[in-house]
Chain A
Amino acid sequence: MSDVSDLPAPQGEPIAGPAIAVRGLGKRFGDLIAVKGIDLDVPRGSFFGLVGPNGAGKTTTLSMVTGLLRPDAGQAFVLGRDVWADPVATKRLVGVLPDGLKLFDRLTGLQLITYAGLLRGLPRELASERAAELVAALGLTEAQGKLVVDYSAGMTKKVTLASALVHAPRVLVLDEPFEAVDPVSAATIRRILAGFVESGGTVVLSSHVMDLVERICSHVAVISDGLVLAAGELDDVRAGRPLEERFVDLVGGSTEVVGLSWLRTSSD
C-alpha cells in the first residue's frame, strides 16, 4: 500500500481540479484487503465508468468516496474538498445512489424524494416542487402515491436516483444504477444523466455491463482485486478493441468452461 503522504493532494482551485480525486485509498475487512491503496482521478465533466468483476472493490471504493465507509488509509477528495475532513461541505456537492442498501420504504415515492430534499435543508416548497418534477421526468407519476416497499426493483432504482438528484448536486456517484432496470427506464435514466453531464456535472457509475459503459461513458477505470488496472479516456483504455475483450485481458480470468459435461443435453 503506497504511503499517503508521498502522494500530492489534488492541486489548484476546485474549479480546475478533478471532480473526484482518490489518493492511496485502502480498506480492509478482517483478513480481506478489499481496496489496496488506489489512486484515481475523475475529470470534471466526465461520464466515468468503474468496471470490474464481482468483489473487485467497486462498492467499497464508492462507499469511501461518498462518506458511507471510513477508509483505513488514504484520502478522497470531491471538487478539492477532503471527504473525511470536511464531510458536510463535501456531501452538499454529491448525490449518491448506493447498491444493496435499504430505503425508507414505508414512505411513498414522492415523500421519499421530498424527504431527501428536506434532509439536505431545502425549503419545503422547493423540495416538493423538485420531487414532483423528478417523479414526472422518471415516469413514476402513476406510482408516486404508492409506498416504495411495493415498487419493483427498477422503480426503486429510479426513486433512489431521484433522491440523489433532488438537491442539484455537482457530482453523482451511482453504484450499479442500471441493475434490474428495464430497457425503457434505462434509456430514460441515461438521458437524464447525459443531460446532467452536458450541463457541467460529473457522473461516476459502476457496472459490469461493458456494452453499456462503452456506449455512455467518456472515461473508464478497470478495478480488480482492490487495484486499478487501467484508467483514462475510454478510447485509451480499450486500445482499439472492444472493452469487454480488453477487460477480460486485464483481469486475466479464464473464460473457458471446465467440466459440466453432464449439463450438455446433446444426446437428445
Chain B
Amino acid sequence: MVAHLVRLKLALLRNVFRRSRAQTIGAVIGVLYFTVLVLGLALILASFRGSPVEARVVIPLAGAAGIVLWTVVPLFSFGSDPTLDPKRFATFAVPHRDLAVGLLAAALVGLPAIASMVLCAGVVVAWSQTAASTSAAVLGTATGLLTAVTTSRWVSAVLNQAISSRRGRDAIAVVGLLLLVVIGPAVSVVANLGENLAHVAATAAAVVGWSPLGWAWAAPGDIAAGDLLAGVVRLLLAVGLLAVLFRLWSRALRTEVDNPRAVSRTDSGSTSGDDLGLLGRLPPSPAGAVGARVLTYWRRDPRYQISMAMTPIVPFALLIPYYTGDLPWTPLLMGPLVAFLVGWSGHNGVAYESDALWLHIVSGLSGRDDRRGRLVPEVLLAAVLVPLHSLVGVGVAGRWDLLPAVLGVAVALLGGGYAVSSVMSVVLPYPVPESGESPFNAPPGAAGITLAAQSLASLGTLVLASPALLLAWLAWRGSTPACWAAAAVGAALGCVVALLGAELGARLYDRRAPELLSALRRG
C-alpha cells in the first residue's frame, strides 16, 4: 500500500512536466528558483556548525517556524495535496492504518517535503560536532519533519470536515479573526525589542525549545552542548508528540474515509423559479452577461468566497506595524494593496471555470467581450474597496496631503493587475481546485507552477505600475509636484495599461481559445 501511494505520487510529480509548453516552462522556472533558495538556506543552516551557541537559538526557532509553515501555508496558498485526499480512497477497501502510513509516506515525496529534507540536512550538518549529537540530530530532525507533515495532514483533514458544515465555516472565520487580533500584540512585542533582539531571541528559543513545536529541534543542541539528560527528555517528548499526532490523524482519516461527503452545497442558494438574478440586471450584452455570471460565481462558489473574504481584511495588517513599530508610512499602502489584490486576483480566473469555457468558445464570443466582461466584477469591487481603504489608510497616517499620490498608485496597480490578469489567464492557466472540491485542495504537483505564476503576476503588476510608485516615493520624500504627478501619471497609466492589457489578452484569446480549452482540460 505504502509503495503504491508513493509510486502514484511520483507519477503525478512527473506529470507536472507533461502539460503544455508554457506550463512546463513555468514549472521548471519555479523549481529552479526554489532549488536555489532552498540550497542557500540549507548552507546558511549548515554554517551554524561553527557557532553552536547561536545554533541553539536559531535552529529551534527555525524548526518551529517550519512546522507552523507546513500547517498554515497549504490552507491559504496551494491547498493540501488531494492525491492524498482520503476521500478518494473511500471506495477502496484499504485498512485505515495502512492508508494513514501510506499517505504520510506519499506526502514525503512532494517538492515541499524534498525542500524540507534538504534544509534538515543542513541542520544535521550544523549539529555534527560529536557522534552522539549527530545521531541525535538525525533522529531529531526526522521526528521534526514527520511532525510537521503529520500536523499538516491532520489540520487539513479536520478543517475539511469543519468546512462542510455552516457552523464549522463560521467557527473557522472566528478563529481567523482571532488570529488577526493576536498578530497585533505579537508583532508589537517583536517591534519594541529593537536592539536587544538577540537577547529576546534567546529567550524565545528557550521557550519554544520546551514547547511541542521545538522539542525535536532543540534536542540535538542539548546533546552537542553536553546536556545529555535534557536532550534525551526532549527527544522522548518529541517522539511521543509524533505518536499522538499520528493517532489524531488516523482518527480524522477514518472519519473522512467513512463519511466521504463533498463540500456541502447547502448555502449555494437556489433562487426560486424564474429569477434571472444578476443576469437580469447587468447590461444585456455578451460582455455584461460574462460579468454577471462571474459575479454570480463570486457569490456561490466557496473557492471565490475565501479570497473575497480575505481581500478586504489583508490590508488592515498594515496597521499593525504602524501602531506597534516606528513605521509611519505603512497605512498609506492600504489603498494600493487592496487595488493590487483586486487586480491581481484575476490572473488565473479562467482556470477556476475549468473546461466550462467551451460554452464561450462555441458561442463565438469575441476575446474582447470575454476579457471586458471579466473586468466588470473586479471594477465594481475596486470601486468600493480602493477609495475606502485609501481614505482609512491616509486618515490613520494623518497625511491627507498625500491622498492624490496614494490614489494614483492604487489606480496604477489596479490597471497593471488587470493587464497582467487579462494576458496571463489566457497564456498560463495553472491548476486550481475543481468546482465543488474543498477550496483547501490543490491539484497534485502544482505548487511549483503556482508559485512561479503568482510571482510572475506580482512582478509584472509592480513593473507596470513602477512609474507611479517612483513618483509616489518622491512625494513621500516631500516633493509636492511629485504628489500630483503621481496622481495624474497613476490614473492615466492605470487606464491605458488596463485597456492595452485587455486588448492584448483579447487577441491572444481569439487566437488560441481552443488551445486554452485543451490546457484547462489537462490541468
Please report A residues at the B interface, Cβ cutoff 8 Å.
Answer: 66-70, 87-88, 90-92, 94, 96, 98, 101-108, 110-111, 114-116, 118-121, 123-124, 127-128, 132, 144-147, 149-150, 163, 167
Q: Name the contact of B274 in the complex, choosing from A96, A132, A149 (C-beta under 8 A).
A: A132
With known contacts A69-B514, A114-B276, A145-B274, A119–B361 Cβ distance under 8 A:
no
Tell me the complex Cα distance, A69–B273, Å: 36
Q: List 25 A-B contacts (CB under 8 A).
A: A68-B362, A70-B514, A96-B362, A101-B521, A102-B354, A105-B435, A108-B270, A108-B271, A114-B279, A116-B359, A118-B284, A118-B289, A119-B359, A119-B360, A144-B274, A145-B271, A145-B274, A145-B275, A146-B270, A147-B270, A147-B300, A149-B268, A149-B436, A150-B265, A167-B363
Whole-angstrom distance between the alpha carbons of A103 and B518 in the complex?
15
Given A101-B356, A111-B296, A145-B272, does the pair A119, B289 have CB atoms closer than 8 Å? Answer: yes
Would A145 and B270 count as touching, CB distance under 8 A?
yes
Decide if B270 touches A149 in the complex (CB within 8 Å). no
Residues of B within 8 A of A92 (CB): 364
Contact, CB under 8 Å: B514 / A121:
no
Give chain B's interface residues, CB within 8 Å of chain A. Answer: 265, 268, 270-277, 279-280, 284-286, 288-290, 293, 296-297, 300-301, 353-356, 358-366, 435-436, 514-515, 517-518, 521
Query: How far in angstroms is the closest Cβ of chain A from B454?
Result: 24
The CA of A132 and the CA of B275, in the complex, are separated in Å by 11
Q: Give the distance in Å from the alpha carbon of A69 to the alpha carbon of B358 in the complex.
A: 10
A252 to chain B, nearest CB (A): 31
Q: Do A119 and B363 touch across chains, with their CB atoms under 8 A apart?
A: yes
Q: How far is the CA of A92 from the CA of B358 in the complex (A)?
A: 15
What residue in chain B is nearest A102 (Cβ atoms)? B356
Q: How far is the CB of B87 from chain A (nearest CB, A)?
A: 17
Most A Cβ at <10 Å: residue of B265, B277, B284, B297: B284
B363 / chain A contacts, CB cutoff of 8 Å: 91, 116, 119-120, 167
Contacts of B280 in A (CB 8 A): 124, 128
Which chain A residue shows the least CB distance to B364? A91
Report the Cα distance A167→B359, complex, angstroms: 13
The smallest C-beta distance from B40 to any residue of chain A, in angstroms, reads 38
Enumerate chain B residues within 8 angstroms of A107, measured Cβ to Cβ: 279, 293, 296
B514 and A68 contacting across the interface, CB-CB below 8 Å? yes
Please tell me which one of the listed residues B356, B365, B517 contacts residue A103 in the complex, with CB atoms under 8 A apart: B356
* With known contacts A91-B363, A118-B286, A111–B300 Cβ distance under 8 A: no
Residues from chain B with a CB closer than 8 A to the CB of A68 are: 358, 361-362, 514, 517
Partner of B365, one of A119, A146, A163: A119
Contact across chains for A115 and B364 when beta carbons are under 8 A apart: no
Residues of B within 8 A of A66 (CB): 362
Q: Report the Cα distance A120→B289, complex, angstroms.
A: 10
Q: Which residues of B contact A167 (CB under 8 A)?
A: 363
With a cutoff of 8 Å between Cβ atoms, the chain A residues found around residue B268 in the complex are 106, 147, 149-150
List of A residues within 8 angstroms of B359 by Cβ: 103-104, 115-116, 119, 163
Q: Is the CB of B361 within 8 A of A67?
A: yes
Structural contact, A70 and B275, CB atoms closer than 8 A: no
Measured in the bound complex, the distance between the Cα atoms of B268 and A105 in whole Å is: 11
**Cβ-defined partner of A104 (8 Å) among B284, B288, B293, B515:** B293
Give the most central of B286, B301, B364, B435: most A CB within 10 Å: B364
Query: Chain B residues near A102 (CB, 8 Å)?
Result: 353-356, 435
Tell me the complex Cα distance, A104–B363, Å: 14
What's the Cα separation between A92 and B365 when bound, in Å?
Answer: 10
CA distance A214 to B297 in the complex (A): 42
B275 / chain A contacts, CB cutoff of 8 Å = 108, 110, 145
B286 is contacted by which of A108, A119, A150 (Cβ under 8 Å)?
A: A119
Tell me the complex Cα distance, A67–B521, Å.
15
* A100 CB, nearest partner CB in chain B, Å: 9
Instruction: Quote the shortest CB–CB distance from A20 to chain B (angstroms).
Output: 14
Nearest-neighbour CB distance to chain B for A6, whole angstroms, equals 26
Separation in Å of the B426 CB from the closest CB of chain A? 15
Q: How far is the CA of A96 from the CA of B355 in the complex (A)?
A: 14
Please report the C-alpha to C-alpha distance between residue A68 and residue B363 in the assembled complex, in whole angstroms. 11
Contact A121 B286 (CB under 8 A): yes
A89 to B357, CA, bound (A): 19
> Shortest beta-carbon distance, B376 to chain A, in Å?
13
Given A102-B355, A103-B356, A104-B293, the answer on whether A110 and B362 have CB atoms closer than 8 Å is no
Q: Is the CB of A106 within 8 A of B274?
A: no
> With A68-B362, A102-B356 given, can you name 9 additional A-B contacts, CB distance below 8 Å?
A66-B362, A69-B514, A69-B518, A101-B355, A101-B356, A115-B293, A132-B274, A147-B300, A150-B270
Closest to B294 in A: A104
Residues of A within 8 A of B521 (CB): 101
Q: How far is the CA of A84 from the CA of B277 in the complex (A)?
A: 35
- A111-B361 CB under 8 A given contacts A102-B354, A104-B353: no
| Least CB distance, B511 to chain A, in whole angstroms | 10
Among the listed B279, B301, B517, which residue makes an inter-chain contact with A111, where contact means beta carbons less than 8 Å apart?
A: B279
Give B364 Cβ to nearest chain A Cβ, in Å.
Answer: 3
A162 to chain B, nearest CB (A): 12
> Which of A88, A124, A144, A146 makes the CB contact (< 8 A) with B364?
A88
Contact B301 A106 (CB under 8 A): yes
Residues of A within 8 A of B289 (CB): 115, 118-119
Please measure, in the bound complex, the distance between the C-alpha atom of A187 and the C-alpha atom of B270, giving whole angstroms. 28
- Closest approach, in angstroms, between the C-beta of B519 and any C-beta of chain A? 12
How many Å from the CB of B404 to the closest CB on chain A?
40
B147 CB to nearest A CB, Å: 38
Give the distance to chain A from B247, nearest Cβ to Cβ, in Å.
36
Point out the residue from B272, B286, B297, B361 that lies within 8 Å of A106, measured CB to CB.
Answer: B297
B297 (CB) vs chain A CBs: closest residue: A106
List the 4 closest A-B pairs by CB distance, nearest first.
A91-B364, A124-B284, A118-B289, A119-B363
Question: Closest CB of chain B to A206's CB: distance in Å?
Answer: 16
- Per the bound structure, the CA–CA distance linking A149 and B268 in Å amounts to 10
A116: chain B residues within 8 A (beta carbon): 359, 363
Q: Which chain A positions have C-beta within 8 A of B265?
A: 147, 149-150
A59 to chain B, nearest CB (A): 12
Shortest Cβ distance from residue B515 to the other chain A in the assembled complex, whole angstroms:
7
A128 touches B276 (CB 8 A): yes
Q: Which residue of A lies closest to B358 (CB)?
A: A101
Q: Complex: how many Å from CA A69 to CA B516?
A: 10
Instruction: Give A52 to B515 CA distance when docked, in angstroms.
Output: 26
Chain B positions within 8 Å of A144 at CB level:
273-274
CA distance A132 to B274 in the complex (A): 8
| Nearest CB of chain B from residue A224's CB, rounded to whole Å | 24
Q: Tell me how far the C-beta of B300 lies from the nearest C-beta in chain A, rounded to whole angstroms.
A: 4
Distance, CA A103 to CA B362, complexed state (A): 13
With a cutoff of 8 Å between Cβ atoms, the chain B residues found around residue A147 in the complex are: 265, 268, 270, 300
Cα A246 to Cα B277 with chains together (Å): 51
